[in-house]
Amino acid sequence: MPTTDFWASSLGWFTLSLLQILAVTVWLLLSLAFLLWGDRKVWAGVQMRKGPNVVGPFGLLQSFADFLKFLLKEIVVPAGADKTVFFLAPLLTFVLAFAAWAVVPLAPGWVVSDINVAILYIFAISSMGVYGIIMGGWASNSKYPFLGSLRSAAQMVSYEVSIGFVIITVILLAGTMNLQSIIEQQAGWFWNWNFLGGGLKNLPIALVMVPMTVIFFISALAETNRPPFDLPEAESELVAGYQVEYSSTPYLLFMIGEYANIVLMCALAVILFFGGWQAGFPTDFLRDSWGFSDTAMSFVGFGFFFAKTIFMFFMFAMVKAIVPRYRYDQLMRLGWKIFLPTSLAAVAIVAGWRVFTGHGA
């Protein structure tokens, strides 16, 4: 069979899709290893410590050493645990965390599945993520994991509502739920990014979108159980919460799933508010004057997307290092009494702006 005919066949399409999924998964796993190293380095720097610095140059191989350690440790299952659910919970968390990346565009045309309802897909996958934590807490047959899983369920559901309303403001500005289209509409100068309203004609609406960007960032911290909202894992209260009975590979799957969700939230913040792979200034001169091909331009776009995502992760790490943990009643009050009405009012204001001015996509 000629090569062109093979790639046009069903088997060729399946092979190509499998290679795309493998490429994204490998890239994400390697990125998580070094981002975890960076997270620990930032935390250590704030506390005037060195952090990882022994395994490999500058400690860069510390995450891989930890990975090997978890693989070699013994898997301990509590005597009264439901073994099926106990092992299914971390696996479900891991799979759902990576499944959400299927619709995330990394550069022009670099997306596993370019669907028109990508935002709805991410909503559905992220909403199911809480099941892995609940199942893990319940199956452990211990009161501390169970309390941690209940906390996590309440916390994640509470802040999903705020995140949903914030994303609706972006959908109203862009007029689409396709993530690639949302990024393409933010092309050009940085004032076309959605956190400033999506263009000079929408600049007044930046008074709404800048606070929405902040609310999205803080809600993402709570959604991913990141400090200062890591109450489901609070060591001082719940002895590490829903994962206290886990060890070895199942614990590793929980951690990888958690960090994959953190990076996903960083990537979504970049895509929705900060232009995705857009540079913030016109880059046509690279193609016109320097002769960059479309493939080279894609790599340039990926570089900008990756750099922005790393910066957002750095902000997550800084919050973890410098902000003290909230009490649970403060967490709930912030979500339901401040973020929810504020984001709901923002949806009404942005919708009114679109209707009465006609500005937008």
Q: Would you say residue 128 lies in a domain?
A: yes
170 and 34 part of one domain:
no
**Residue 2, in any domain of the structure:** no
Cβ neighbours of residue 235 under 8 Å, at least 6 residues apart?
Answer: none
* Phi–psi pair at 147, nearest 5 degrees: -65, -40
Q: Is residue 5 part of a domain?
A: no
Residue 189 covered by a domain:
yes
Q: Over 90: is that where the pLDDT of 211 sits?
A: yes
Residue type for position 340: L
- Domain finish residue from 54, 72, 90: 72
| 61-96 confidence digits (pLDDT tens) | 888 998 888 888 888 888 888 888 888 999 999 999
User: Stretch 177-189: mean pLDDT, rounded?
Assistant: 88
The answer to whether position 1 is within a domain reads no
Check whether residue 104 and residue 58 sit in a common domain: no
Q: Does residue 127 sit in the same domain as residue 245?
A: yes
Conformational region of residue 270, where left means phi above 0, alpha means psi within -120 to 50, and beta covers everything else: alpha
Last residue of a domain, one of 46, 72, 98: 72
pLDDT for 245 beyond 90: no
Work out the burial of residue 301: count CB atoms within 10 Å of its CB; fewer than 13 is exposed, 13-18 middle, 19 or more buried. Answer: buried
Answer whether residue 119 is part of any domain: yes
Percent of the chain beyond pLDDT 90?
Answer: 24
Looking at residue 358, its pLDDT comes to 67
Predicted confidence (pLDDT) at residue 195 exceeds the cutoff of 80: yes
Are both 260 and 171 inside the same structural domain?
yes
Give the Cα separation of 341 and 322 in Å (integer).
27
- 79 versus 4: which is more confidently predicted? 79
Asked whether residue 342 carries a pLDDT value surpassing 90, the answer given is yes
- The number of domains in the chain is 2
Are both 261 and 230 inside the same structural domain? yes
Are residues 234 and 155 located together in one domain of the fold?
yes
User: Quick check: 298 and 205 in contact, CB under 8 A?
Assistant: no
- Determine, yes or no, domain membership for 303: yes
Q: Identify whether residues 186 and 277 lie together within a single domain.
A: yes
Q: Mean pLDDT across the stretch 36-60?
A: 88
Residue 4 covered by a domain: no
Same domain (yes/no): 18, 153: no
Cβ-defined contacts of 75-83 (< 8 Å, 24+): 75/247, 75/248, 75/249, 75/250, 76/245, 76/247, 76/248, 78/140, 78/141, 78/142, 78/245, 80/141, 81/139, 81/140, 81/141, 81/245, 82/138, 82/139, 82/141, 83/139
* pLDDT tops 90 at residue 217: yes
Given this model, what pLDDT does residue 360 score? 54
Identify the helix (H) or strand (E) that includes residue 19: helix 10-46
Claim to verify: residue 53 and residue 179 sit in the same structural domain: no
| Residue 213 pLDDT > 90 | yes
Burial class (CB in 10 A: 0-12, 13-18, 19+), 170: buried
138 in the same domain as 19:
no
Residues of the domain holding 315? 79-357
Mean pLDDT of the chain: 86
Same domain for 220 and 352?
yes
Q: Largest Cα–Cα distance in the chain?
A: 69
121 and 267 belong to one structural domain: yes
Query: What average pLDDT does range 309-330 have in this prediction?
Result: 88
